[in-house]
Amino acid sequence: MLGAAITCAARSNGREVQPHLSFRDVRKVYPDGVAALDGVSADVPRGQFCVVLGPSGSGKTTLLRVVNGLTQLTSGEMRLGDLPLTPATLRAIRRRVAMVHQLFSLIERASVAANVLSGAIAEVPFWRVALGWYPKALRERACEVIARVGLDQIHLKRRASALSGGQQQRVGIARALLLRPEVILADEPVASLDPAISRDILGLLREAAREQGATVLCSLHQTDLAREFADRIIGMRKGRVVFDGPPHLFDARAESALYEGLMPVNKAQSKQEPIHA
Ligand code: ADP
Ligand code: MG
């Protein structure tokens, strides 16, 4: 069943296509023995807005951090395109991946422009960063992404701490978009925002990513937002995938299995086996 689901995810017009992100039996056991990821396998095609949904402690953050190497695997494999994540490929993979954080992770005393430009820190010589002398093309790109996320010129010089929560997350998204990443990891990007602003932010993230063909892994714990915005939902519980399918198939039964631990009706499905919708 798992194999069939993977084949579905990786097919386009009847042709096999290489997944953009690929997790193969990924396990992460922390030194205290907690298995945060307990055999996760999934293929994510290019351009998909894939929501990783699950209760607190289910392994969402750990899974996202596997992609940019912030979490080292205990076993299994993660690939970006045809590049397996190894110590030798880590830098190359990080260049292609950007992150949006729950608490925005902005430099509060710095301006909006400086925060957005910090998305290029790894690519710009240290002395330029220290002096704030960023190349012209990069400054122009920063203006472009700041406009793209709906902030005005007047915000450019404003301190990040002077912005509302929703505006701060717009800055976080602009920073992530700056270098045109192939993959955007968004770890509960709306957990600190009220519902109306959350919808604006998720809509913005989805559309901006789609415009540049980026693949998004977005962790959420709100089922209504997952249903509304996801191309696909990967439901996680205790480090395992318990649902994998399109949002319209994430029904009450799947939600119960994810949040209350009810067994699927089909007894043939073992506890470990995900519901592939
Ligand atoms: P989620 O993002 O879904 O809330 P996490 O990936 O943060 O879940 O955590 C999954 C499990 O791993 C939890 O039981 C959590 O306590 C544990 N965990 C996360 N980070 C660490 C760590 N650095 N050391 C030990 N355990 C951790
Ligand atoms: Mg988390």
Tell me what pLDDT residue 1 has: 34
Tell me what pLDDT residue 267 has: 35
Statement to judge: residues 151 and 120 lie in one domain = yes
Tell me what pLDDT residue 23 has: 98
Ligand 2 centre and the CA of 187: distance in Å? 7
Domain with residue 1: its CATH number is: 3.40.50.300
Q: 50, 27, 16: which is closest to 220 by C-alpha?
A: 50
Q: Tell me the H-state helices in 162-212.
A: 165-177, 195-211
Residue type, 118: S
pLDDT by residue (tens digit) across 64-100?
Answer: 999 999 999 999 999 999 999 999 999 999 999 999 9
Statement to judge: residues 78 and 131 lie in one domain = no
**Residue numbers of the chain with a pLDDT score lower than 70:** 1-17, 261-277
Tell me what pLDDT residue 120 has: 85
For atom 5 of ligand 1, the residue with the nearest CA is 59
Tell me what pLDDT residue 75 has: 98
The whole domain housing 155 covers 107-180
* Residue 102 belongs to a domain: no
Q: What is the pTM of this model?
A: 0.88
For atom 20 of ligand 1, the residue with the nearest CA is 62
Ligand 2 centre and the CA of 240: distance in Å? 15
* Residue 200 belongs to a domain: no
Atom of ligand 1 nearest to the CA of 65: 6
Statement to judge: residues 142 and 247 lie in one domain = no
Q: 62, 79, 80: which is closest to 71 by C-alpha?
A: 62
Instruction: Kindly report the backbone phi and psi dihedral angles of residue 158, in degrees, each rounded to the nearest multiple of 5, phi listed first.
Output: -75, 145
Statement to judge: residues 5 and 49 lie in one domain = yes
Statement to judge: residues 87 and 112 lie in one domain = no
**What's the number of domains the chain is made of?**
2
For atom 14 of ligand 1, the residue with the nearest CA is 57
Two tokens, residue 2: 């798992």
Q: Is 25 left (phi over 0), alpha (psi -120 to 50) or beta?
A: left
pLDDT by residue (tens digit) across 42-69?
Answer: 999 999 999 999 999 999 999 999 999 9
Using a CB cutoff of 5 Å, list residues around ligand 2, an ion: 60-61
Tell me what pLDDT residue 270 has: 41
Ligand 1 centre and the CA of 267: distance in Å? 30
Statement to judge: residues 70 and 189 lie in one domain = yes
Report residue 223 CA to chain centroid gap: 16
Ligand 1, residues 62, 218, 240, 259: which to mutate, most atoms within 8 A of Cβ?
A: 62
Statement to judge: residues 259 and 165 lie in one domain = no
Report residue 16 CA to chain centroid gap: 24
Q: Is 65 left (phi over 0), alpha (psi -120 to 50) or beta?
A: alpha
Statement to judge: residues 166 and 79 lie in one domain = no
Tell me what pLDDT residue 261 has: 56
- CB-side neighbour CA atoms (13 Å) of 157: 1
Statement to judge: residues 135 and 161 lie in one domain = yes
Atom of ligand 1 nearest to the CA of 63: 6
Pocket of ligand 1 (CB under 6 A): 30, 32, 34, 36, 54, 56-62
* Closest ligand to residue 239's CA: 1
Instruction: Kindly report the backbone phi and psi dihedral angles of residue 76, in degrees, each rounded to the nearest multiple of 5, phi listed first.
Output: 100, -170
Ligand 2 centre and the CA of 6: distance in Å? 25
Say if residue 209 is exposed, middle or buried (CB neighbours under 10 Å; 0-12, 13-18, 19+): buried
